[in-house]
């Protein structure tokens, strides 16, 4: 099958995680993504472990399905090559500090002058304008300043970073949405545009009901562990060999849980008779449920919950997720053959489409692997490519 974005040409001038994650998604969907890296060193993430035969597993996960070239953007000769690439491209994505690309003569206005149809996406910590636009940011800084860290962690404990780099990945996903929307708009207008993605904005955007709990009720949300401020019981409970999440999102499910526990007396208990009361007395209720749930293994507990129509799930460790039959059936753990690293297993493409397959067609590039090929496609002669190499521009 032809992939959904086959024919789309994208320049990935980004590093580490947030930009490469966005371009990985677009590459998985069929875009021809050319990753631009610093000659001799490459993306900083090439130095992040774990390593297989010297190749970074971190880098290989985020840069599959891309072609890779090296190019020194700090020098005029490299900037000229990028402008030639911009004439070829539909989309450029970068995640340098605000103003860096413009300082090199490679900002949106510079490249739109050579290709008015270019969609130019920038991901930064705090955006292209506003009082903090010049500040640097990493994932945890976005989680901290966007409010997410304040509501994550154990009840009464310190603010906690989410276990995956959600500040980076969330911004990468919003950049992908913006790029696809801009491509659709370009079909009508014939022109590209600038996309400005702030990591802090993207965290603030996913605070769910936390914002309205404050703006409507004046309640400043804080850390609740795995429980929910408005739904109870909705939390992780102990099994004899692990943990199971139990979700009672309505009164009917609560009554079914009481039946499963052989504690139907709790339905009429004044402390638990409605959701608001259960939330008020959540510590007592959690203790009651834990005493019951810990009598079972996770598998036994899930069977009891399922029999009684109560939603639940075992909390799986990463090794369990990698081996999970359902995950495997959906092609979400994929073995990729890399020319240096050998065969490695990485997460697959979660976007399943009826008219486009989800295969990973090429491993992440070794540094500069496709430089000659890409420059030749731009019309550069072998002599010119050799001269750029000799000058260490590529």
Q: How far apart are CA 146 and CA 208, in angstroms?
A: 12
Which residues are paired to 333 by β-bridges?
347
Condensed to tens digits (0 to 9), the pLDDT of residues 222-269 reads 999 999 888 899 999 999 999 999 999 899 999 999 999 999 999 999
Amino acid 229: pLDDT:
83
- On the question of a cis peptide bond just before residue 50, with omega within 30 degrees of 0, the verdict is yes
Residue (of 232, 340, 347) closest to 280 by Cα position: 232
Q: What is the pTM of this model?
A: 0.95
Indicate the domain borders of the chain.
Answer: 9-205+325-390, 234-316
Burial class (CB in 10 A: 0-12, 13-18, 19+), 75: middle
The residue written with tokens 């696809």 in the block is 180
CATH of domain 9-205+325-390: 3.40.50.10540
φ and ψ of 123, to 5 deg:
-115, 120
Spell 168-184 as b/e; 16+ CB within 10 A means b: bbbbbbbbbebbbebbe
CA-to-CA distance for 148 and 211, rounded, in angstroms?
A: 11
Which of 33, 51, 43, 42 is closest to 360 using CA atoms? Answer: 33
* 306: its two tokens: 């399922």
What's the CATH architecture for 234-316? 2-Layer Sandwich (3.30)
Task: Please identify every stretch of the chain with a pLDDT value under 70, giving residue numbers as ranges.
Answer: none
pLDDT tens, position by position, 290-327: 999 999 999 999 999 999 999 999 999 999 999 999 99
Task: Tell me the CA distances in angstroms from 104 to 74, 78, 292, one per residue in order.
Answer: 6, 10, 64
DSSP reduced 3-state for 190: coil
pLDDT at residue 153, as a whole number: 97
Residue 365 DSSP label: P
Q: What angle do CA 350, 353, 356 make, to 5 degrees?
A: 110
Return the closest-CA partner of residue 290 out of 227, 255, 247, 244. Answer: 244
By C-alpha distance, which of 36, 38, 195, 44 is closest to 124?
A: 195
Helix (H, G, I), strand (E, B) or coil at 56: strand
Orientation of helix 18-28 relative to helix 166-189, angle to 10°: 50
The reply to whether 168 belongs to the active site is: yes
- Out of 32, 43, 139, 168, pick the active-site residue: 168
- Beta-sheet strands, E only, within 330-385: 333-338, 342-347
């Amino acid at each position: 099958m032809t992939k959904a974005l086959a024919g789309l040409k994208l320049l990935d001038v980004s590093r580490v995680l947030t930009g490469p994650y966005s371009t990985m998604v677009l590459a998985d969907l069929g875009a021809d993504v050319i990753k631009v890296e610093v000659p001799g060193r490459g993306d900083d993430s090439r130095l992040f472990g774990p390593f297989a035969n010297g190749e970074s597993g971190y880098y290989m996960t985020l840069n599959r399905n891309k072609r890779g070239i090296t190019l020194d953007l700090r020098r005029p000769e490299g900037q000229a090559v990028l402008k030639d690439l911009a004439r070829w491209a539909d989309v450029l994505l970068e995640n340098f500090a605000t103003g860096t690309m413009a300082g090199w003569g490679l900002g949106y206005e510079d490249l739109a002058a050579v290709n008015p149809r270019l969609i130019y996406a920038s991901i930064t910590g705090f955006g292209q304008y506003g009082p903090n636009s010049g500040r640097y940011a990493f994932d945890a800084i976005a989680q901290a300043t966007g409010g997410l860290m304040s509501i994550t962690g154990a009840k009464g404990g310190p603010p906690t970073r989410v276990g995956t780099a959600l500040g980076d990945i969330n911004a990468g996903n919003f950049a992908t949405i913006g790029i696809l929307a801009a491509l659709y708009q370009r079909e009508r207008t014939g022109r590209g545009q600038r996309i400005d993605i702030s990591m802090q904005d993207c965290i603030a955007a996913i605070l769910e009901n936390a914002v309205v709990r404050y703006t409507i009720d004046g309640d400043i949300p804080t850390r609740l562990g795995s429980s929910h401020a408005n739904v109870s019981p909705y939390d992780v409970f102990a099994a004899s060999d692990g943990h199971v999440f139990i979700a009672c999102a309505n009164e009917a499910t609560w009554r079914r849980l009481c039946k499963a526990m052989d504690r139907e007396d709790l339905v009429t208990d004044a402390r638990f008779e409605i959701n608001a009361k259960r939330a008020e007395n959540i510590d007592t209720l959690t203790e009651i449920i834990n005493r019951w749930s810990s009598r079972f293994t996770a598998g036994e507990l899930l069977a009891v919950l399922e029999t009684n129509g109560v939603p639940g799930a075992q909390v799986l460790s990463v090794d369990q997720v990698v081996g999970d039959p359902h995950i495997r059936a959906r092609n979400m753990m994929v073995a990729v053959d890399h020319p240096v690293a050998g065969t490695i297993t990485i997460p697959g493409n979660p976007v399943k489409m009826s008219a486009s397959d989800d295969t990973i067609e090429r491993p992440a590039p070794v540094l500069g692997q496709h430089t000659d090929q890409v420059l030749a496609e731009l019309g550069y002669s072998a002599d010119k490519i050799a001269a750029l190499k000799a000058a260490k521009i590529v």
